[in-house]
Amino acid sequence: MKSPASIKLLRLIVLAFGLFMTLSGNTWATTEKPACEFTKKYLAADLKLKVECNDNFLHYCSGTKSCSDSTRKASSRTPKEIKVAGFNVYNLGMEADFTGKKLTPFKDVELLATVINQWDVVAAIELKHFDAKDFRFNQHITKFISELEERGGSRPVYADKKDIKAKKPAYVLTAEELKKYYRTPSYLKLLKALQEKDKSWSLILSNTLNGKNEVDTLNNELTGYFYRKKNVDIIATEYCKALACTSKKEEFTAEVARKPFWASFKIGNLDFTMGAVHFRFRAPQIVVNYPSIAKRIKKAKKSEVIADNMKAIEVGIEQIATDFKSRWQKARKEVAALRKNDSDAQAVLAKEIELYSPILDEIAAIHKKKKALVLYELYNPMMEVYNFTKETGYKWKTTKKAQAEKLEYNGRFSEVKSIANLIGEIRENSDEKDVILFGDYNLPAPGKNSRVASTEKDKLKWQALKDAWHSANGVLENFDGATTVINEKTTVGNKELNMKYDHFVFSQSGNLKGCSTSKSSAKAYNFTKRPNTSIDKRIKTYNIENFRESLKGDLKTFSKGKHLFVRYTQGQMDFLAKGFQEKILDSYAAGTFTVYREAISDHLPISMKCKTK
């Protein structure tokens, strides 16, 4: 049995590597495949997972057979119906990202699993990629393990010089012991929590990150399908002839910020393809203040301003328009060529100012005139696909807020139509006729046969929304027979539910004829409603002491009260503990919804029942 002192020594060693990991650099990939391959090689055995890493998708399941193999016995009875769900899980995996605006350190995968476990197929959006710092930490642990194995699989650890002299190790560190310190992606933590309830739960995950801009952390998302293998089989999609895949940019004539991820499932006479999207369009994030740069250029050397802001400038140009981007890249190539030829430093400086300044001046002028950044190559083609304002005739107010909403509505409806058009092509050009599109559309979706409620504040907007979805030339015109299903409040606020943004869109025909759209079958699951025995029971076990202890993780306490941390600084720990007290414990005591938003999600999941015979 290890003594407390020995355990502290082990933690110190792990922490030393954690600190080295933090200080060392490493380029993070734009796909999730590296994390999958690492998991397959080093973590799968301990996690008891079968791991398959493909270019189109990443697949995780229990057992030793291929994840695509059916586990349903020929003699087993086919259930009369399955339950299909869609769930925005609210930045699952941003627990340690203090650079993001939506830090979710209080997420409880046990509660998420409790919610998800009532369904058979769950499209999950807003999954976050494995944090780069954790990935690097795992790499360094692997390196340390390799070094230990070269030395016979273990090494003695001494408490001080006296013990070294006496050759009395306080502890013998083994490679197996170190493996316990590997970190696991949050989406796999959720999968393991589900498998504790039913080992047949599996996950097929997108490989491509939606949005590769490292500054725009809110757009870097993955999409996945958690599905119960004992009830449904996953099959190759007609769309891409693979088990799952993400649509490519080239398939759309205009911007779709987050591309749909597709997978197909079969049970009995029911087989269908499902697409999942987090519709996102908004004016690109302004990560650099161009007018400020323009002012600084007048007061300082342009080269200094350019050098100081190069990263932000390039991110901004990426988001504005391909024209600016191509001009900027061309300018950089010319400057790089001069440097390569060992040109005079003054000549290089002059060329930088000559080439970069006009581009910066133009961008600054755009801001000065208060023109929206999106009114260029990004936005105009979208309006060729669908222009909500023009098609519905809705009159927007002239306020800044209303005009911003106008851009968002126009852009998001364009994205919906782009994807609906693609579904129309899939149905027309393949045998796949049965397609369900789940999304957090960031748009309300009045039903085709619904009537405006007397409580509706803006009845004209409501009618415009209904027309946009369901008129002959609306966004679903090429998705024959499709309609919107579920238009309930699903956004979890501090004290109430608001925003009707989460919907299914499909045609209730063919194999999907048995998917009920009645309000008793197709609905949101309100996990904020009390009492909820399983959820309340777990929340009542929370306390601040246990939370603080969980943050310490691999913490080594030195003499004189000094500490060394891998993941959190003392300030971050205090910040998180205060947040846990206010957002979790105090919220639950006060009866507000914040606790559910932080521990589970800021969206309610939606679901419906589909007959299999």
| DSSP calls for 309-365 | HHHHHHHHHHHH-HHHHHHHHHHHHHHHHHHHTT--HHHHHHHHHHHHHHHHHHHHH
CB atoms within 10 A of CB 467: 18
How confident is the model at residue 354, as a pLDDT? 79
* Rounded mean pLDDT, 477-497: 97
Which residue's structure tokens are 């989406």? 187
Evaluate if residue 77 carries a pLDDT over 90.
no
* Rounded mean pLDDT, 527-532: 94
| Closest among 600, 557, 548 to 576, alpha carbons compared | 548
- What tens digit of pLDDT does each residue of 86-103 get? 999 999 988 655 554 457
CB atoms within 10 A of CB 181: 21
Of residues 202 and 129, more confidently modeled: 202
What are the φ/ψ torsions at residue 402 (nearest 5 degrees)? -65, -40
Are 143 and 237 in contact by the 8 Å Cβ rule? The answer is no
Evaluate if residue 76 carries a pLDDT over 90.
no
User: Token digits for 137?
Assistant: 């930490």
CA 451 vs CA 95, 391, 491: distances in Å: 42, 21, 22
CA angle, residues 436, 513, 610, in degrees to nearest 5: 65
Evaluate if residue 568 carries a pLDDT over 50.
yes
CA distance 465 to 592: 31
What is the average pLDDT score of the chain? 82
* Rounded mean pLDDT, 130-158: 84
Evaluate if residue 302 carries a pLDDT over 60.
no
How confident is the model at residue 611, as a pLDDT? 96
How confident is the model at residue 597, as a pLDDT? 96
DSSP string, 413-454: HHHHHHHHHHHHHHHHHSS---EEEEEE-SS----TT----T
Which residue's structure tokens are 């519905």? 392
DSSP string, 299-317: HS-HHHHHHHHHHHHHHHH
User: Token digits for 64?
Assistant: 């030793």
CA distance 172 to 154: 6
For the ranges 12-16, 310-314, 509-513, the lowest mean pLDDT is seen at 12-16
Evaluate if residue 75 carries a pLDDT over 80.
no
**Pairing relation of β-strands 435-440 and 270-278?**
parallel
| Closest among 530, 460, 517 to 487, alpha carbons compared | 517
Highest mean pLDDT among 26-30, 291-295, 437-441: 437-441
Q: Label residue 561 left, alpha or beta by phi (over 0 means left) and psi (-120 to 50 means alpha).
A: left
CA distance 348 to 335: 7
| Closest among 475, 455, 457 to 466, alpha carbons compared | 475
Indicate the pLDDT class of residue 26, thresholds 50, 70 and 90: very low
How confident is the model at residue 320, as a pLDDT? 46
**Counting every residue, how long is the chain?**
613
CA angle, residues 485, 487, 489, in degrees to nearest 5: 145
For the ranges 3-12, 275-284, 349-358, the lowest mean pLDDT is seen at 3-12
pTM for this predicted structure: 0.81
* Rounded mean pLDDT, 134-139: 86
- What tens digit of pLDDT does each residue of 320-356 get? 445 666 777 788 888 888 877 766 767 777 777 778 7
Indicate the pLDDT class of residue 162, thresholds 50, 70 and 90: confident
Q: Label residue 186 left, alpha or beta by phi (over 0 means left) and psi (-120 to 50 means alpha).
A: alpha
Indicate the pLDDT class of residue 559, thresholds 50, 70 and 90: very low
How confident is the model at residue 453, as a pLDDT? 83
How confident is the model at residue 13, as a pLDDT? 40
Indicate the pLDDT class of residue 242, thresholds 50, 70 and 90: very high
> Rg (Cα) of the chain, in Å, rounded?
27
Which residue's structure tokens are 């998917």? 515
Chain CA centroid to CA 168, Å: 50
How confident is the model at residue 134, as a pLDDT? 84
